[in-house]
Amino acid sequence: MSDNKTERMYINGEWIEGPGGQTYTAVNPATGENIKHFAKGDKSTAAMAIEAAYGAMPAWSKTPAVERGRLLREVARLMRERCDRIARVITLENGKPIKESRGEVNGAAAHFDWYAEQGQRIYGRTVPPTFANKRHIVLHQPVGVTAAITPWNFPIMLWARKLAPALAAGCTVIARPATATTLTAIEGTKCCVDAGLPKGTVNLVTGKASEVVDVFVKSDLCRKITFTGSTEIGIGLAERAAKYMKRLSLELGGQGPALVLSDADVEVAVKGVAGGKLRNNGQSCIAVNRCYVEQQIAEKFIPKLVQEVKTWKVGNGLEEDTDCGSMINEEGLNKVLEHIEDAVKKGAKLLCGGKRLMNDGLDKGYFLEPTVLTNVTDEMMCMQEETFGPLLPVMTVKDRDEAIQRANNTKYGLSAYLFTTSTKNLFEVGEALEAGTIGVNDPVPSTTIAPFGGYKMSGLGRECGVEGIEAFLETKHLSINIE
Ligand code: NAP
């Protein structure tokens, strides 16, 4: 795919170069090879994109929701039609297995289909008046120009999770994708362009994140910022945005626990915990970060878990039988190695994995053996921080109350997993866990149709489901004196 052509930004219906012809290059993390060159934007391009999106707001917000829905369904259709091509781009940029990339494209298309319909159900209400001469109507209106900042780990899914509801609500959008996965966002943008979305409704800006995002924060014309990324960057953004009372949605980091209770179906728990950990090589905000297993079942569960983890094949994501591809970059890989080293130094027992893989042509990329640790303690980094890689620490606990207490003992609250066959446990533990999404015997709980977001330091607001469109609406009260 590498060529010298520069992929451009998209503003006001035109593909444009960066100011001064500046560019940057994307690298395939599996091979170290250059993939593409991209036009690099700056403050001036961000400002241009805001103007374009603001100019397109009146017509787009007044376009009937049914017509907006028709266009969004066409975006979804094009994404599915181009699934193989887009999936290949995702794998080249991000390293993830091609089968996961295909699933991601289809998941992203589902967002456009679902919000194409949901945009037609933005109902207001009438409120019974207190006085005979009054009438009260509550309206929901698009919040306005929206900037969407997305990470590299699910580069088309998270882009779609923001664009689909924002556009369905009648907002115009400026996407600022992660630097590492710009081409994926360009592919998504091309689907919007080819579907016939009017100029200015969808824009794509690149460039140094702190500079570009600062323009969004300070602009009066940009009314909303929706951000997915790390808690650290999210906090900084919230601090800056507070001064301008900017509407914010924040989807941030996680540190998901998995609880395996003594009544769990062992096979389901083994597959669930391994899958919840290793999907996208553990580089998922909702990844299982740590596992608590009740002592009565630990002896059965742990060896089977190790057996299962060993079956996950590490390799270049473009190969059909790869289960774990390359990590995104050296920094990501080193963080996992640091967590392993720290744990082992503090007494953890390594049951499998633990090393970088350099054989069979993997030496140019960032490949790690999927790793399982036991004898872990709360002081270890892997039990405190978001590891964001294929490392699974397993702690044996005496009962379910200890599992709940430990699971909640974190500043994060994005996801948690529960493996049980008891209905009582399903409700009591499900209700006690402090996280926005709980997967019960389900390692893939996130879906277009249900709300997604974090408790505590994992974020503000919700994406997906009915709530996902509310994030792009303002509420207005029309008070009418009829006399
Ligand atoms: P990140 O470093 O926070 O980056 C996220 C996005 O913010 C990227 O587009 C990045 O641009 C941009 N950015 C960087 N510096 C910024 C700044 N000063 N101001 C504003 N934006 C800035 O996160 P990441 O490493 O890409 O993604 C991994 C993190 O995202 C993990 O913590 C993960 O849990 C979280 N995540 C959360 C969810 C969720 O839904 N809750 C979903 C997926 C991932 P550059 O690419 O140019 O640095």
Q: pLDDT tens across 438-469, in order?
A: 999 999 999 999 999 999 999 999 999 999 99
- The SS3 call for residue 334 is helix
CA 17 to each of CA 2, 150, 160, 184, 403: distance values in angstroms, whole numbers, following the listed order: 19, 21, 24, 18, 54
Question: Best of 159, 179, 233, 237 to mutate for ligand 1, by most ligand atoms within 8 A of CB?
Answer: 233
CA of 175 to the centre of ligand 1 (A): 13
Four-residue CA torsion sign, 210, 215, 217, 223? negative
- Do β-strands 371-374 and 349-352 pair in parallel, antiparallel, or remain unpaired? antiparallel
Longest dimension (CA), the chain: 83
The answer to whether the CB of 323 falls within 8 A of the CB of 97 is yes
Judged against a pLDDT cut of 70, whether residue 2 lies above it is answered with no
Ligand 1 pocket, residue 104 CB under 6 Å: no
Going by DSSP bridges, is the β-strand pair 125-127/134-142 parallel, antiparallel, or unpaired?
Answer: antiparallel
Q: Select which of 83, 192, 285, 464 is catalytic.
A: 285
Are the C-beta atoms of residues 183 and 249 closer than 8 Å to each other?
no
Q: How far apart are CA 135 and CA 205, in angstroms?
A: 44
Angle between helices 65-81 and 98-118 (to 10 degrees): 170
Q: What pLDDT does residue 360 have?
A: 85
244, two tokens: 């301008």
* Residues β-bridged to residue 23: 39
81 alpha-carbon distance from chain centroid: 23
279-286 mean pLDDT: 98
- The amino acid at residue 321 is D
Q: For the chain, give the percent of residues with pLDDT over 70.
A: 99
The answer to whether residues 315 and 322 touch, using CB atoms and an 8 Å cutoff, is yes
Amino acid 409 reads N
How high is the pLDDT of residue 181? 98
DSSP code string of 18-51: PGGG-EEEEE-TTT--EEEEEE---HHHHHHHHH
Q: Tokens standing for 350?
A: 């390594």
Most informative mutation of 104, 235, 252 for ligand 1 (most atoms within 8 A of CB): 252
Whole-structure pTM over 0.75, yes or no? yes
**What pLDDT is stored for residue 4 in this prediction?**
75
CA–CA separation, 467 and 116 (whole Å): 15
